Amino acid sequence: MHRLLVKYITKQATESEYLEVKAWIRESEENKLVYIQMYEAWHESLVANKEVVNADAAYDLFLNNIKRSKAEY
């Protein structure tokens, strides 16, 4: 789901992927929290690095931020 969330956040998801992510977010508070964390990590990475973002590197950054956030809770 993480790769699909990246596509959703970066507005690269197809219509069916978009609908799938929206449904997934609504399934549980945990899913909603994962989405929020990824969304915030994405925007933080854009602010930190104003150059063109490498999608693979951004995905890795998302995963690291999520792991770090879960470790804090």
Q: Residue ranges of the domains in the chain? A: 2-72
Tokens of 52: 């063109």
pLDDT tens track for 37-70: 999 988 887 766 655 667 788 888 888 888 876 6
Phi, psi of 49 (to 5 degrees): -135, 105
3-state secondary structure of 49: coil
CA distance 25 to 45: 22
pLDDT tens track for 29-46: 999 999 999 999 888 877
The reply to whether the predicted model has a pTM over 0.75 is no
